[in-house]
Every structure is written in structure tokens, then in C-alpha cells.
Structure 1
């Protein structure tokens, strides 16, 4: 067993020593220790938090720009423009089923009682149920991902036919503009999540039609992926990344909310991208269900079945085990931070 694995398996290992061992192992093996990635305006990703906390050891992050949607992020990873990317698990299923050589390695967002995606309307809107959406416009951050899949699941459960669902118009909007578009009556429903949702609710004048948490319960909804060839060449770097992200998830879960928010504000201030830090002040949780970002079959089978039933998957349904792995996550064997 390598020094890295012995360190990660030690239940009470010091986090700084664990992270340092990860980075040292990767460097000693001649592996890539700088990971190119895309960020999000005004927000702090879990890898960025992990790096700031020192959980990535010698593995460094190289920000190459921002992205507004998960499908574009993992497409960039699949084509080699970035080293890792994150997206809704259904989008990962679609890309993998299309033949992209990618594997999901750790969950990074999800829905729980504190953090969820809600479908919001103006307070005076007549929209109450699924049938009220026929002929209406729904704004969301990207098409073909989490928001669309959850919406269509809700519409199907509400008894709408495929033809009726086709009359619900989906509009792609940057998350920071969605609330404004709803209030300006450019759209009828806004899909809002996380800190953007909390900010809109705090501004008043909107109400919830339904949420993904109400519909599906608590679940991890998206994961970070690497290309398979990158994983083969750089297994210890991937292990360090996954372990660090897992530790960041558990750090945020264990800290008082004010402590996490203060850290996120500090990260935004230090990186100097001329961003508005107000969004992170509404942070509540990552929403990740599994300890340390562990992934479960259910978090992929739900969307494999939905995509197959919707006719968006050709041939045999992919198996979850062919799309994700927990092999690089120290929490799978009881390691990582407690």
C-alpha cells in the first residue's frame, strides 16, 4: 500500500498531513499536479474551497474562465479543454452514453431541506399546478440538465401528455439574470437554486410552485468528472482531488454557517476577479447527500430511467457502475475527515 493510501486510511490523520501526502505521492509518480477548471461568477466551487483550506496538498487549480451550465462544463472536460468539470448526473449519463470517455468521481451538489432548486413565480401569478404551465415560459440556467429533468418529471406526474409538455417553453438564462427576468415578466417561472434562490426570496414578491426536494427527497444531483485517460495517467492526483473535495464537503457540513460564509467571502476577495460577493452570503449547505461526496447508484438510475423513458437514450440502458466510481474517495473505506 502506498504512503498516500495508508495516510488516507488512518481515521484520525491530520488533514494537512493527509493533503500533503496526496500531493507528494502524485509529484513523486511524475503525475500532473495542476488541474485546469472552469469556475462560476460570484460563487466558490468546492474544489476552490478545498484548495483554500489546504486539502488538495500539492495539487493546484488553474482557473481558465467561467461557465454557466454543467453540460458545457463536462463537454469541455471530455474534449480536453479542462481537466475536470461538474454537471447534473443526467447530463453526465447523456454524455457517457454518447461515447464520451468520462467517469464521475465525487458528488458536489444536491438537494436537501436547506439547499434545493425551486420553481418560482411572481406572487400574483395564477400558476399553481402542472397544467398551468402549458403555453408558459420557464427560465433556467441551461437546457438538458437538472432543471429541465426535474420539471418534466413533475409535469409527467401531473398527467400532462408529451404534446402538452412540448407546449411548455424552456428558456436558457444566466443564473444571475433569472430573477430579474421573472420580475420583468419576460418569463412566467424561474428555476432558482442555492444562494441565488435565497436572495430572490429575501427580495420578496415571489412564491414557490414546487421544489426538487419536495419531488424527490434529499439526493446528490451532480458530480465532478475526469476523462478516463487522465485518470489512468494521474490516479494519485485524482485521489488527492476527490479526497480534498470530500474533506471540504465535511468541513462545510461541520462548521457554523457564519464560518463557511466568511471563508467564501475571503476566497472571492483574494482571487481578485472583480466579482460581487453578495451571493455567497446566502450559502446554507452544499446539499450533497453522501459523506465526503460518495456517489450511489440511485443518483444515476433515477436519470437513466427518465432519459430512457423519454427516448433520449439509444440502445441498452447504461449501468451506473459504468458511469461513476467511488474508488478514489477515501470516505468509501472509512478514511477521510471525520
Structure 2
């Protein structure tokens, strides 16, 4: 019951490159106010929302393209192709444990009663429990991240051993194509989350096998990271980013749902990327557990322990405090107030 070894090997090789690329990057007193980032087709990220609401101050976001999975996003950040990226906390743990100099600074997605990742099958599928997945194909946005970790935890809790779990085939698919692949029976199970899940459920013909919320309860599942050298050179820029994103989380938490959806639609229309804005009509919540995106030890400890049990660490397992910081989050220093 372990993530693909190729994923960890690639992360380790990446860390070597990152360490080399980071040499000699410190110096200078001018802090950048431009942050390069990758987005998602037909969706609005929290930093994009924060920028549109005017919460980022002088910090400007520069979109450099789209990405389909968190591991690729934080790898781009670690190698300097982007200035920040977001991923499942377990993927951040693996990259940090491979000595990539990155630090998580704020949670940006998670699962709650309204927003979660579900594992779906067609209504007439015989799949009901963990053992029914042996020999089946499960489609998810990326391997070695949130969807895989949750699935394998569920399979193990359901009594499957390592050999049986290895017989469940994982297939990486772009999120916008996963529902179609399920309906065309190219896969047996589809991992669907957020607005993509809600749109698929509204279309009918599919049912839930289980969800990550049912498995773990409410929790923040992923965080935005910066390179350590970037943070050292630009602490106030990082502080402005974190404060702005945290404020956007609370804006989305407290405003009427219709207000949030209207804002998300207007952002997509205004950015002119020739996208379908229909997905955001299904938005319900950010899923972020902590006020203003505050990160807790447990949100990393869960996946550190899981990866350690899988033998993914060559040495001692890392401590959560070595991977994230709330230093730049004003909600952490004011007891939850901005």
C-alpha cells in the first residue's frame, strides 16, 4: 500500500536540481511585488479572488498558464518557474522531505460537509465496498497526491492488504475529463471534487461510494508554498499574499453563496481566457477548515505518519513545524481575527 515509487524518485531528483538552482539567490533589498502562478481552467483560485477583491495590496499576480495537479504546481514553484504553488499536504511533505527548500504558508482547499472529494461510480455499477475495487480502474487528477492517499487509506481500512491494493489501477486524467471517462466506462470509479463533482452529480446517473469527508471529517487538505529563498528576500510580499488570501477565504465563508458565485463568474469573464464559466455556478464553499487558512500540525501529521508507515522516508520522518509556518498569517496572531 504505497504511492508510486516513480513519484518519490522524481521528487528526490527534483530536490537536487532545486538545491543547485537556489544557490546564490539571496541578496538585494528590493522586494518583488509580482507573483507568477499557474491557474485552473474554468475555475477561480483564492489568490485570484483575493486580487479581484483588492485584498493583495500592491502585490500583482501574473498568470503563466494552467496546471491540472498539485504536485506539478509545487514542483514548478520549487524550480523557480512560478513564485507560489498549491498542492495536497502529503505531496508537500514528500517534496520537503526530499530536501526541496519550500515552506507552506496558508491552507487553500479542504473538505467539509459541502465541499469534498468523492469517489463515484455509475448507478448500475456493482462496486459498493473496498474489495469491489480489486482489478478496477480509478480515475483521478494526479497520482501520488490527495486522491490516491485517501483511496488507499480507505482500501486499507476496508481490510485489503498491500498485494490486493496494488491490483487497483490508478489512472491520471484531467479533472474536466474525468466525469466523461466514467460515463463512457473507460474507468470504473471517478474521483470528483468541488464544482466539477457538483455538476456531475446534478447531471444524474452516478452515485457515491465514499468521500474523504466521511473518512476524515472536516479538514484542510492542501496549502500554498513558496521557496525558502523567495521568502527570505520578500517577506513583506509573502505577508501581503497570505493576509489577502486569508481575507478572501473569510469573505467567501461569510458572504451569501449567490454573491460569491457572481464574483467568480465575473472574474472568469474578465480575464478573457476563452473558458466555460458554468462550473462556478456549483460552488458551495472553500472547504478550508481553519480561520483565514491557518494551518495546524494535524493537517500535515496525518500524511507524515501515513508516508512513514509506507517507508517513504529514508531517514527520520519530518516534523510538521519543519514544513509549514503561520508566521505570515494575521489570523494566527490575533486569535482568528484579521
Q: Same fold (TM over 0.5)?
A: yes
Contact 1:103 1:228 in 2 (8 A): yes
Contact 1:89 1:223 in 2 (8 A): yes
Structure 2 matches for 1:1-338, cutoff 5 A?
30-334=30-334
Distance 1:219 1:232 in 2: 29
Shift of 1:335: 7.3
Give the match's secondary structure for 1:222: strand
Shift of 1:336: 7.7
Distance 2:52 2:336 in 1: 17
Aligned to 1:4: none
Contact 1:89 1:300 in 2 (8 A): yes
Deviations 1:270-301 (A, max 9, x none): 00000000011100000000000000000000
Give the match's secondary structure for 2:288: coil
Deviations 1:84-109 (A, max 9, x none): 00000000000000010000000000
Distance 1:274 1:66 in 2: 13
TM-score, length-normalised on structure 2?
A: 0.91
Deviations 1:227-277 (A, max 9, x none): 000000000000000000000000000000000000000000000000000
Stretches of structure 2 that go unaligned for 5 or more consecutive residues are 1-28
Give the match's secondary structure for 2:152: helix
The ranges of structure 1 where at least 4 consecutive aligned residues each deviate by more than 4 angstroms after the TM superposition are 335-338
Distance 1:306 1:146 in 2: 12
Contact 1:250 1:337 in 2 (8 A): no
Distance 1:211 1:44 in 2: 23
Distance 2:261 2:279 in 1: 10
Aligned to 2:24: none
Distance 1:36 1:272 in 2: 18
Contact 1:247 1:337 in 2 (8 A): no
Q: Which moved more, 1:197-206 or 1:307-316?
A: 307-316
Shift of 1:181: 0.2
